[in-house]
Structure 1
Amino acid sequence: MIGAGFVRTIGSSRRAIAWGTATAIGVFSLFGVVTGLIPNPLYVRMVPRTAVDYLFLVSTALLAGVYAAQRVATTVPGGDRTSPSKNEDRVMMGGLVGGFLAVGCPICNVFLLALFSSSALMTYFDPLRPLLGVFSVALLAGLIHLRHRRTCSVCEP
């Protein structure tokens, strides 16, 4: 649950809200177009779209936006970006990659297709995509929660 201190921290920075909104829209648009969840003439999806794909797309985009807003709001201008932030960024990228793989067409992904055959992807990887989506959303939400607990001085008792 998002505390009142977090809302005040984010609400006090229009820059943070702008970055968060731009990030969420960017992730949604990029992942949606590249995976074919947003129909477009550049890409034809070979696996049918499901409601779960859209759920993970929206969740991943929203969580990426919240992370970006949180990161901008809690970074001191000219401040030190130390190794914990780099580790958090790595976890965030892992969550985004997992979210992308969870919503993507498994037999259209060139990287996966180069590693495995299309029949292996449909047999073994496609049934695991929802689990990958749950894991990536949980990873992103957990990162946001831990970062909130560490950086929110107003919320501590």
Structure 2
Amino acid sequence: MTDLAPSIRPGRRAVAWGVATAVGVFSLFGLVTGLVPNPLYVRMVPRTPTDYLLLALTALLAGAYVTQRLAAASREDADGRLDGDGADRWAVGGLIGGFLAVGCPVCNAVLLALFSSSALMTYFDPLRPLLGALSVALLAGLIAVRRRRSCPTCEP
């Protein structure tokens, strides 16, 4: 296995922001969705191991994406293709999907305003793991594509 080329090795600043992002996403999503028990929010749908797995993967991939993004931004990219490809919008979409996947469908005011609680429990709740898997795949795919673009000669 080859070592990362010095030009794509993230600096301490990028790694620190990536770790802060991962911890922040885990904490925020966990508290707001009730996966992290707290006195301010009571979750109406039981917690499952899949919810915790999707929360952890979403947080880790968000941190990895931010680390990679900042490392790429610190390098000079004359044509702007690494940072100007719209990947940030896809990353935000992956985060939103991850949030909806781990959240309580009955407790989500936006979903509840659009659909009834019985419709959410019947149709949306069984699809949450699939939505989470798609979100994780989207974030992982973005990281892989950006890595390949930043270093075409590196091994995967």
Same structural fold, with TM-score higher than 0.5 when normalized by the shorter chain: yes
Taking a change above 3 Å as real, the CA distance of residues 155 and 120 of structure 1, as seen in their structure-2 partners, is: same
- State the shift of 1:152 in Å: 2.0
- State the alpha-carbon separation in 1 of the partners of residues 2 and 117 from structure 2: 46
The aligned counterpart of 1:39 is: 37
Hey, what's the Cα distance between the residues in 2 that align with 1:56 and 1:6? 31
Moved more, 47-56 or 12-21: 12-21
Q: Aligned runs of 1:9-88 on 2, under 5 Å?
A: 9-10=8-9, 12-76=10-74, 82=80, 85=84, 87-88=86-87
Contact 1:6 1:148 in 2 (8 A): no
Q: 1:126 maps to what in 2?
A: 125
Structure 1 unaligned segments of length 5 or more: list them.
none
Amino acid corresponding to residue 34 of structure 1 in structure 2: V
Aligned length: 154
SS of 1:147's partner is: helix
Report which stretch shifted further, 77-86 or 128-137: 77-86
Aligned position for 1:91: 90
Q: Distance in 1 between matches of 2:87 and 2:125?
A: 28
Instruction: Using the TM superposition, name which of 74-83 and 92-101 deviates more.
Output: 74-83
Question: Aligned partners of 1:29 and 1:87: how far apart in 2?
Answer: 26
Cα distance in structure 1, aligned partners of 2:109 and 2:46: 18
Give aligned-pair identity as a percent.
64
Cα deviation for residue 9 of structure 1 reads: 3.1
* Greater helix content: 1
Alignment-mate amino acid for residue 33 of structure 2? T
**Distance in 2 of aligned mates of 1:47 and 1:7:** 47
- Tell whether the 8 Å contact from 2:22 to 2:59 is kept in structure 1 after alignment: yes
Post-superposition offset of 1:155: 1.3
In 2, are the aligned partners of 1:106 and 1:125 still within 8 Å (CA)?
yes
TM-score, length-scaled by structure 2: 0.89
Unaligned runs of 5+ in 2: none
Task: Give the whole-Å Cα distance in 2 for the aligned partners of 1:118 and 1:6.
Answer: 52
Determine the C-alpha separation between the residues in 2 that align with 1:7 and 1:54.
35
After TM superposition, what 4+ stretches of structure 1 lie above 2 angstroms from structure 2? 6-10, 76-86
